[in-house]
Amino acid sequence: MMDAMEALADLLRLMDGALGEAGFRAAEETPDPDEKKTRLSFVGQAGSLRLELYDGKAALLYCNRPAENAADGDFGQLALSLLDLRNADDRDIKYIAEEFGEALREKFTPRKGGSAAAKKLPKSISKTAVKNGDAYYDAFSFANSLTGIFPELRAAYKANFETYGEFLSEEFFQQVGNQAIHETIRRNDPLQMRRMFNLFNDVFENGVNEAQSLIAVTILGSLGNDQTLLANCVDYMSSDLAPVVIRVNKILASPSGNTFRTRLAHPPLYKPKREKRPGLMQRLIGGPPPGSLGQ
């Protein structure tokens, strides 16, 4: 279990550069009157910042007023991430520090020229929006959430978008994502498996067709019908996801699945302005056309 103050100290160390670029320095602590949050405070010419840990979350908050004139209700959220201190490790802290550092640079660091802004990562769909029925997970949001579990994939995730100006999900998972996921399945560590499949189950239930296809076909469908690997997954997959994954693996392992196996092994080359067509999962098992969820 990670101590809250230890976690904040590590976040502060990793965010030091971004805080300095944004013009903030550590300030005298502002204690939480209810003692439910562990907090660090910062001040700068642009206003006040707070870095807080509470209820399994890490939050970066901002107010454009000086700290002495700012009430709790004046602070708005710049960034929020899940952080379970009972199970957190250095990779989780590093990922959150990078995410919060990006939020600071986006808010306070002027951009030079138009090319950087043109390649700015789009905003990921939040779990709150999904729970409220306002949105569905897309492929980009799914991959973004996955980098919270595998921070080592973050650089490749950004490079994918920056290279093409959009996120090519199949290429990302074929090149780097599947390797980390399949290795986790082989190790079968209960904690890591629960974290990973909680995400898979949520996105499969509340995602658009492309995100569902990534999970059932591109990722778990490429297990090669390996019964040991599938058995490792069964206890963690939802009742909706499990039968689809098992069926896809059987189809891909059959003689008639050669065409689909070739497609999985060799994703199509990038072509700008591609026309939308039924995804791989729809052609394998049927289903509504892409983007029909939430209509």
Strand order in the sheet with 57-63: 24-26, 38-44, 47-54, 57-63, 76-82
Residues 26 and 65 in one domain: yes
Chunked into runs of 10 residues, the chain (295 residues) has average pLDDT values of 86 90 81 73 88 88 81 83 84 88 81 47 75 83 90 87 82 90 95 94 90 90 92 95 91 70 46 44 50 40
Residues 125 and 99 in one domain: no
Residues 84 and 129 in one domain: no
Tally of domains in the chain = 2
For residue 114, is it within any domain?
A: no
For residue 263, is it within any domain?
A: yes
Other Cβ atoms less than 10 A from the Cβ of 2: the count is 18
Residues 135 and 104 in one domain: no
For residue 58, is it within any domain?
A: yes
Residue 200 has a pLDDT of: 95
Span between the terminal Cα atoms of the chain, in Å: 43
The whole-angstrom separation of Cα 108 and Cα 70 is 19
Residue 191 has a pLDDT of: 92
Helix orientation angle between 178-187 and 190-206, rounded to the nearest 10 degrees? 130
Residue 237 has a pLDDT of: 96
| Per-residue three-class SS string for the chain | CCCHHHHHHHHHHHHHHHHHHHCEEECCCCCCCCCCCEEEEEEECCEEEEEEEECCEEEEEEECCCHHHCCHHHCEEEEEEECCCCCCCHHHHHHHHHHHHHHHHHHHCCCCCCHHHHCCCCCCCCHHHHHCCCCCECHHHHHHHHHHHCHHHHHHHHHHHHHHCCCCHHHHHHHHHHHHHHHHHHHCCHHHHHHHHHHHHHHHHHECHHHHHHHHHHHHHHCCCCHHHHHHHHCCCCCCHHHHHHHHHHHHHCHHHHHHHHHHHCCCCCCCCCCCCCCHHHHHHCCCCCCCCCC
Residues 87 and 217 in one domain: no
Report yes or no on whether pTM surpasses 0.75.
Answer: no
Helix orientation angle between 139-149 and 190-206, rounded to the nearest 10 degrees? 170
For residue 57, is it within any domain?
A: yes
- Please tell me the total number of residues recorded for the chain in this structure: 295
> CA angle at residue 206 from 57 to 212, to 5 degrees?
115
- Name residue, tokens 């700008």: 272
Residues 228 and 160 in one domain: yes
For residue 211, is it within any domain?
A: yes
Residue 78 has a pLDDT of: 85
CB 78 within 8 A of CB 89: no
Residues 99 and 190 in one domain: no
Q: What domain range is 211 assigned to?
A: 120-285
